Amino acid sequence: MASGYILGISAFYHDSAACLLDDEGIVAAAQEERFTRLKGDERFPGNAARYCLEAGGIAAGDLDAVVFYEKPLLKFERLLETYLDIAPRGFGSFRRAGPLWMKERLFVERDIREGLSGYGGKLLYTEHHESHAASAYYPSPFDEAAVLTIDGVGEWATATIGVGRGAELELLEELRFPDSLGLLYSAFTYHAGFKVNSGEYKLMGLAPFGRPRYVDRIYSHLLDALDDGSFRLDQRYFDYRGGLRMTNRRFDQLFDGPPRKPEAPITQREMDLASSVQVVCEDMVLAMARHAHRRTGLSNLCMAGGVALNAVANGRLAREGPFSEVWVQPAAGDAGGALGAAYVARHKYFGTPRPAPTGDSMRAALLGPEFGADAIRDALDASGARYEEVRGTTPADSAAAMIAEGQVVGWFHGRMEFGPRALGARSILADARDPDMQSRINQKIKFREGFRPFAPSVLSERATEYFEMTGDAPYMTFVYPVAEARRRTPGETGLDGLPRVHEVRSDIPAVTHLDHSARVQTVSRRENPDFHEVIASFNRLTGCPVVVNTSFNVRGEPIVCTPRDAFACFARTRLDALVIGPFIVRRAGQDEASLAAAAPGTGAMGLD
């Protein structure tokens, strides 16, 4: 049975998104934050949905179904039962959350139909982890696979194990709230002074600076783990069930003090906390995966859910785990739930067969809006930008030449990425060989913590020369060791703690983390030809097939979507140049008034 057009929707918690499928596969997918410029925007993804419909050349009335990525009534049941179970302690939290649920989140159907201009067709619902599992399995390159999903919490489930074969997907086991690996990791994120649901990346990046001296305390007091990867969390140390914080005073006492205040200096304690919970996270992911392997007997594994974005754990699973192949959905968080929900409807509700995969069907995650030369020119003109058109060469060659000269370049080309990573369409690029580049980009481009590592993008055909890995890793979902031959041992620098970020640990120091690791993106000519050409051109100039690739945004903002966004980000940073479609915008010669107008309130950040 043909399924026609299906629109998947995720919303009302964080990272809302929309995805359109047709009978051929994924037409378009995007997060709402990219259009509203509100990071993690949780509201109904009206802009993202309109984009998806426009990309498909259809109206809402042409849809065969709209699918929401979870079941709100089941989620409300969990919230209500939790509050009743701990009453009266959680009354303050319930007083805040209850009216919101009654007013908005229990009326999802109304919001969807209104948001889609009075859509009157089928409206379906999947369970949260079913959406995650579908987003992991159906676009994967496997015709059968075990499926593992791990996150904070959906309705009740916090982790599931399933199996996919052909068009069939079945969830076999689940771990239920309040026992949650995602919430445990978020509790430490909160305690280290970072924002829950967005600061987990920072905690992962901080971990190599610390010592795992709290691991025994975590296992002795917080987590009772079993061999099958299931566990119980001692709720006496947490406050997320009914309070407005992740942890409480008992947690403070156990881990030597209260939570770090945001923006306060990071101490050795926060580094050690990060290191410790990262070790525990990796151990538990491995335990769950081994149980999934025993339960299913399959050699391939697909993963999704927020914890599946822990690339360090994924790298360890790929190296030490029982599976021959591991594939992680690049939009593994809640945004990817929109994609999974649409797939559930396609194969479960409509019964559409799944074609035999010839590779993954995510199309390099390049599923968002794109802009032609005329639209880019109009945006640059409207912004008062001074630019030149590339002539006699290609934008890729121009970008590569500037990178080889030590410049930091904004690269805006083709369809925007779906998911949290910039994969060569909305990227900031630089020379990975420059030992000062990491600090330069963190301080003057991204305006973020100096310890944050950057990812290398490497030609797929040269990846094993620089990293200890096999196969491809196109989505930055795995951390691998830098190849032994590329490493350097820092001499006596006298540095300790975070300043150790300045130590040179390889011949690509800008992308080599403290433990000689890197979150790798392999770039193939077939899947990502334009970005491949940038790196290939850089390689021809320098002999190095690796560049720094970080997302085209500044701290606290989403990745840029439109040409106007790109110039505004260029204006508020110290990017040397912006290569946008067939045009180059150079820092030198720009009108300061135009820069200030494009980035109001920043004055181009007033940086030197």
Least confident interval from 225-234, 403-412, 485-494, 587-596? 485-494
Residues 6+ apart with CB under 8 A from 543: none
Confidence of residue 96 (pLDDT cuts 50, 70, 90): low
What is the C-alpha end-to-end distance of the chain, expressed in Å?
A: 62
The CATH classification number of 181-327 equals: 3.30.420.40
The strand pairing partners of 19, in sequence order, are 8, 29
User: Is 125's pLDDT higher than 90?
Assistant: yes
**pLDDT digit string, tens, across residues 431-478:** 999 999 988 888 878 877 777 889 999 999 999 999 999 999 999 999
Hey, do 6-69+71-125+334-361 and 373-482+498-606 end up sharing a CATH topology, with the first three levels equal?
A: no
Instruction: Specify the DSSP class assigned to residue 7.
Output: E
Q: Which residues pair with 412 in a beta bridge?
A: 426, 580
According to DSSP, the β-strands at 577-580 and 409-412 are parallel
The amino acid occupying position 78 is: R
Mean pLDDT of 68-84: 76
Mean pLDDT of all residues belonging to the chain: 92
Nearest to 312 by CA among 472, 453, 132, 457: 453
Task: Return the CATH class of domain 6-69+71-125+334-361.
Answer: alpha beta
When pLDDT is averaged across residues 490-518 and rounded to a whole number, the result is 85
Among left, alpha and beta (phi > 0; psi -120 to 50; other), residue 568 is alpha
CA 45 to chain centre: 18
d(C-alpha 96, C-alpha 92), whole Å? 7
* Res. 608: pLDDT tops 50: no
Helix (H) or strand (E) holding 375, with range, is helix 373-382
Confirm if 548 and 510 have CB atoms less than 8 A apart.
yes
Q: CA–CA separation, 195 vs 176, rounded Å?
A: 24
Residue 455 has a pLDDT of: 96
CB-CB contact of 266 with 499 (8 Å): no
Backbone angles phi, psi at 187, to 5 degrees: -60, -40
Cis peptide before 545 (omega within 30 of 0): no
Q: Which of 162, 466, 508 is nearest to 303 (CA)?
A: 162
Contacts of residue 295, defined as CB under 8 A and 6 or more positions apart, other chains included, come to 146, 161, 172, 173
- Residue 318 has which token pair? 């790929």
* Residue 129 designated active-site: no
**Taking the domains of the chain in order of start, what are their residue ranges?**
6-69+71-125+334-361, 181-327, 373-482+498-606
Determine the Cα–Cα distance for residues 274 and 27; give it in Å rounded to an integer: 39
Q: Going by C-beta distance under 8 Å and a sequence separation of 6 or more, which residues neighbour residue 428? A: 408, 409, 410, 411, 422, 441, 445, 446, 548, 549, 550, 551, 552, 575
**235 against 604, higher pLDDT:** 235
> Where does the pLDDT of residue 221 fall: very low under 50, low under 70, confident under 90, or very high at 90 and above?
very high
Is the pLDDT score of 90 beyond 60?
no
pLDDT band at 579 (very low <50, low <70, confident <90, very high): very high
For 16, the token pair is 């809302």
Long-range contacts of 434-443 (CB under 8 A, 24+ apart): 434/406, 434/509, 434/510, 435/502, 435/504, 435/509, 435/510, 437/408, 437/509, 437/510, 437/548, 438/501, 438/509, 438/510, 438/511, 438/548, 439/501, 439/502, 440/408, 441/408, 441/548, 441/550
Looking at the DSSP bridge assignments, the partners of residue 416 are: none
Residues 6+ away with beta carbon under 8 Å from 583: 373, 376, 377, 380, 387, 388, 389, 390
User: Which residue in 332, 343, 361 sits closest to 6, CA to CA?
Assistant: 343
pLDDT of residue 444: 79
pLDDT(580) > 50: yes
Neighbour tally for 113: CB within 10 Å: 16
* Residue 103 clears pLDDT 70, i.e. is over it: no
Residue 512 φ/ψ, nearest 5 degrees:
-105, 120
Confidence band for 607, pLDDT divided at 50, 70 and 90: very low
Structure tokens at 350: 């409509």
Give the pair of three-digit tokens for residue 71: 């079941």
Label residue 492 by pLDDT band (50, 70, 90). Answer: low
Partnered with residue 429 across adjacent β-strands are 409, 549
**C-alpha 418: how far from chain center:** 9
Of the residues 14, 513, 516, 532, which is catalytic?
14
Cis link prior to 453 (omega < 30° from 0)?
Answer: no
Please state, in angstroms and rounded to a whole number, the distance separating the CA atoms of residues 331 and 132.
10
Residue 42 exposure: Cα atoms within 13 Å on the Cβ side:
8
In the chain, the amino acid numbered 261 is K
Sheet holding 65-68, edge to edge: 25-31, 17-22, 6-10, 65-68, 123-125
Least confident of 90-104, 145-159, 195-209, 517-531: 90-104
pLDDT of residue 135: 98
> Does 216 have pLDDT greater than 50?
yes
CATH class of 373-482+498-606: alpha beta
In the numeric block, the tokens 């494009």 are attached to 598
Contact 538, 456 (CB under 8 A): no
What would the 3-class secondary structure string for 204-263 be? HHHHHHCCCCCHHHHHHHHEEECCCCCEEECHHHECCCCCCCCECHHHHHHCCCCCCCCC
Average pLDDT on 177-190 reads: 96
Alpha carbon dihedral 107, 113, 116, 121, in 10-degree steps, equals: 140
| Residue 72 CB coordination number (10 Å) | 18
Rounded to whole angstroms, the Cα distance separating 425 from 108 reads: 33
Kind of pairing between the strands at 300-304 and 325-328: parallel
